[in-house]
């Protein structure tokens, strides 16, 4: 059974961000690396529990990076809390 395209895109973004380390990766770079809608994929990863940082310079988004090293392509096992 093959993985869905959405899952392949999520894995690709995680791989690219993991390889980049501290360096922010631009949406353009993700698009060039085969992710057709990187902003949506990044949002999906955040909803799944991955800590993603948006890096801004002079008020403009320059890219995103992972705040935690991803060893596996599974979201963290901590529960997410919304409100109190």
Query: What does the pLDDT read at residue 80?
Result: 57
pLDDT in tens, 11-45: 999 999 999 999 999 999 999 999 999 999 999 99
User: Domain segments of the chain: what residues?
Assistant: 5-66
Q: Find the farthest-apart pair of alpha carbons in the chain and give their distance in angstroms, rounded.
A: 46
Is the CB of residue 30 less than 8 Å from the CB of residue 19? no
> What's this model's pTM, rounded to 2 decimal places?
0.76
pLDDT in tens, 36-68: 999 999 999 999 999 999 999 999 999 999 987
CATH of domain 5-66: 1.10.10
Is the model more confident about 7 or about 73?
7
């Amino acid at each position: 059974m093959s993985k869905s395209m959405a899952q392949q895109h999520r894995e690709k973004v995680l791989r690219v961000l993991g390889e980049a380390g501290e360096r922010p990766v631009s949406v353009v770079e993700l698009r060039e690396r085969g992710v057709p809608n990187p902003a949506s994929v990044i949002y999906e990863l955040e909803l799944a529990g991955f800590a993603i940082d948006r890096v801004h310079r002079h008020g403009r988004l320059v890219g995103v990076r992972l705040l935690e090293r991803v060893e596996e392509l599974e979201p963290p096992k901590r529960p997410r809390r919304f409100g109190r």
